[in-house]
Amino acid sequence: MSENRINNNEQLALDDGRRVKVLSPGMMVFKRFIRNKLAIAGIIILTFMFVFSFLGGVISPYRQDQVFYKTDSANKEYASAVVNNEYRFFTPDGAQLSTLVRANFSRVVKDAGEDDVAFEADGASWNVHRLGENFYAIGTAKELGSVTMLGKIVDVKAKPGEEISDAVKDAALKAVQGGSLQFEADGQSYMLTKGKAKSYTLGTMSEAGVASLLNFNAFSGEDDALVSGYGFRRAAELALRSGEQTFEADGEAYRLDSDGDDSAVIYRANSDEAMASVSNVIVSPMTTGATLEMDYKAAVAEAISQKQMAFEYVNAAGETEKHTIRMRGNNYIIYTEQQTYLIDMYAAPSMAHPLGTDDHGMDVLTRLMYGGRISLMVGFGISGYFGGWVDTLLMRFVDLFNSIPYYPMMIIAGAIMDAFEVPPYTRIFLLMAIMGIMGWTGVARVVRGQILSLREQDFMVATEATGVRVSRRIFRHLVPNVMPLLIVQATMGLGSIILTEATLSFLGLGIKYPLASWGSIINAASNIYVMTNFWYIWIPAGVLIVLTVLGFNFVGDGLRDAFDPKMKR
């Protein structure tokens, strides 16, 4: 209004008071505030924090509780292998070889060499007939007679009470002349056992099973029963031992691809798909419950038979794995550079995780963003509570609250919330409420002090003397004069509440995992190893807390100065 009255043509003296521009009080406060460099720094810091926390959480590609994994190679014991030297027995359906028979077989077969041997067990006479290297047929024998060779004359004599047909005799003759000790005639197996000089004992042979050192593995589960069946085993191994490429079992034709040395792969005749592998090496996984691929087993067997100490294996995913073999006793242990899935703990800063990951494999930067959200929210939630600021009548109540120790109270409250398993989000609001209830007393006390001192000031007496009504006295005179103090208290209080929240979270009583707050992030530093080795986990959170609290304090100071008209313009 006063400006309006200044006539532009009027010459004002240099020291005329009208030259001084008059600003509205609000503008003056604003102007004074923006002249305060520290306050502006504070505003910038706080703006950054808000953008960082509330916008950052949206922008960040990760969730705050997203766990990251990494793959790492570790030289782990992967499998063990052993060269089989225990005979395994395969019998036709239903038949069983007794333990005594098996033991006797193992005993006699050691010295057998190329020969067929016999032993007595379970009241029967057993014949062990060598079918091939480390491959024997075992059966019960019944003596029928003897075959004696005199020059070119072969004489077949029957035991008393037994009869030997001519067909059998002929077959026996041929067998002896051909150097074979086993022959078939009339659908019955016969065998010759070498006796004294050039005589043989002739007997029937009923085969009870075969004994083998080889290990057959079917590639598909459907073939398991077939592969471990007596008929298939006998036919397959016989073919392998005799160097044949094909064999028949149970009326089906198979193809055998052997590279010698006790190992082979079996195909169905009409298929190129491997059906089973044969090896004298037993490969088993080191971890229980795991299964090894057939190809892998074959590769191990191959390497062992080649006496290689390292081999490469292309796995199902097409990746090449490197394996090394070490002897341990009679066993071979296969180590592998295994690609394992690990939680990416304490990852160093990288492009994907600019501040690395924490002990739970979560992105530190993202957690800082979300954590700031909670820290700032807790702060402002409580400042909102301070809305009812004047409460001088409740000073005794204040005393009551002040006499409750703050931290033990908070710790108990935290423990109670633990006990009731309060969900993390509810917990935040409860925490704000409790901190508000516990924290308003300090501000109330300071404000009351200020009001008491203002009430005695002459200008308050003057308002009474001029008959200004009470509400006006409070809101026009008291409040504006308490305001700066209140603002400073509130902003500094905000800072200290963020610190309190950090303290509580640090102690594990505040914001609970997996929700993040700056305090709970710093909590990582309670581990000396983390503190010294993984700076990028806790230093940023600490810096953010310090900056935020500083920012609040700067802004608080700036506001106080701006509200104070006694300050320079």
Give the residues across from 193 on adjacent strands.
201
The alpha-helical segments, DSSP class H, found in 129-200 are: 166-178
**Of residues 466-495, which lie at the interface with other proteins (CB under 8 A)?**
466-469, 472, 476-477, 480-481
Q: Is 453 in the site for other proteins (CB under 8 A)?
A: no
Q: Is 10 in the site for other proteins (CB under 8 A)?
A: no
Cα 500 from Cα 435, distance rounded (Å): 9
Binds other proteins by CB under 8 A, chosen from 100, 461, 543, 546: 461
Q: Residue 17 CB, nearest distance to other proteins (Å)?
A: 6
Q: Residue 488 CB, nearest distance to other proteins (Å)?
A: 15
CB under 8 A: which stretch of 104-112, 140-148, 348-356, 560-568 binds other proteins?
Answer: 560-568
Taking the least distance from each CB to other proteins, the nearer of 341 and 459 is: 459
Taking the least distance from each CB to other proteins, the nearer of 17 and 318 is: 17
Taking the least distance from each CB to other proteins, the nearer of 459 and 529 is: 459
The alpha-helical segments, DSSP class H, found in 179-229 are: 224-227
Burial of 260 (0-12, 13-18, 19+ CB in 10 A): exposed
Q: Is 1 in the site for other proteins (CB under 8 A)?
A: yes
Cα 471 from Cα 484, distance rounded (Å): 20
Q: Is 464 in the site for other proteins (CB under 8 A)?
A: yes
Q: Is 107 in the site for other proteins (CB under 8 A)?
A: no
Q: What share of the chain is helix, strand, coil (3-state, %, to 5)?
A: 45, 25, 30
Q: Is 110 in the site for other proteins (CB under 8 A)?
A: no
Give the residues across from 140 on adjacent strands.
126, 206
Q: Is 416 in the site for other proteins (CB under 8 A)?
A: no
Taking the least distance from each CB to other proteins, the nearer of 186 and 458 is: 458
Q: Residue 45 CB, nearest distance to other proteins (Å)?
A: 28
Q: Is 568 in the site for other proteins (CB under 8 A)?
A: no
Q: Is 166 in the site for other proteins (CB under 8 A)?
A: no
Closest alpha carbon to 116 in 210, 214, 192: 192
Binds other proteins by CB under 8 A, chosen from 18, 31, 37, 70: 18
Taking the least distance from each CB to other proteins, the nearer of 256 and 562 is: 562
Q: Is 270 in the site for other proteins (CB under 8 A)?
A: no
Taking the least distance from each CB to other proteins, the nearer of 74 and 452 is: 452
Binds other proteins by CB under 8 A, chosen from 94, 186, 458, 529: 458
List, in order, residues 6 or more apart from 16 with CB less than 8 Å away: none
The β-bridge relationship of strands 215-218 and 117-121 is unpaired
DSSP designation for 522: H
As a whole number of Å, the CA-based R_g of the chain is 48
Q: Residue 552 CB, nearest distance to other proteins (Å)?
A: 24
Closest alpha carbon to 507 in 415, 425, 438, 404: 415
Helix axes 395-402, 424-455, angle to 10 degrees: 130
Taking the least distance from each CB to other proteins, the nearer of 32 and 512 is: 32
Q: What are the angstrom distances between the C-alpha of 510 and each of 361, 380, 409, 425?
A: 21, 16, 13, 11
Q: Residue 364 CB, nearest distance to other proteins (Å)?
A: 47
Taking the least distance from each CB to other proteins, the nearer of 196 and 566 is: 566
Q: Are 397 and 504 in contact (CB under 8 A)?
A: no
Q: Residue 28 CB, nearest distance to other proteins (Å)?
A: 8
Q: What are the angstrom distances between the C-alpha of 58 and each of 52, 53, 369, 566?
A: 10, 9, 9, 44
List, in order, residues 6 or more apart from 230 with CB less than 8 Å away: 90, 91, 92, 93, 209, 210
Q: What are the angstrom distances between the C-alpha of 124 and each of 112, 139, 143?
A: 19, 10, 11
CB under 8 A: which stretch of 322-330, 378-386, 427-435, 561-569 binds other proteins?
Answer: 561-569
Q: Is 31 in the site for other proteins (CB under 8 A)?
A: no
Taking the least distance from each CB to other proteins, the nearer of 18 and 31 is: 18
Q: Is 12 in the site for other proteins (CB under 8 A)?
A: no
**Helix (H, G, I), strand (E, B), or coil: what is residue 137?**
strand
Q: Which residue has the tokens 């009812």?
A: 388
Taking the least distance from each CB to other proteins, the nearer of 395 and 422 is: 395
Q: Which two tokens stand for residue 133?
A: 């290297």
Taking the least distance from each CB to other proteins, the nearer of 16 and 122 is: 16
Q: Is 146 in the site for other proteins (CB under 8 A)?
A: no
Q: Which two tokens stand for residue 426?
A: 């509810």
Taking the least distance from each CB to other proteins, the nearer of 11 and 466 is: 466
Classify 53 in phi/psi space as left (phi over 0), alpha (psi -120 to 50) or beta: alpha
CB under 8 A: which stretch of 116-124, 132-140, 309-317, 451-459 binds other proteins?
Answer: 451-459
**Of residues 378-407, which lie at the interface with other proteins (CB under 8 A)?**
none
Sites of contact with other proteins (CB under 8 A): 1-2, 5, 17-18, 22, 25, 457-459, 461-469, 472, 476-477, 480-481, 563-566
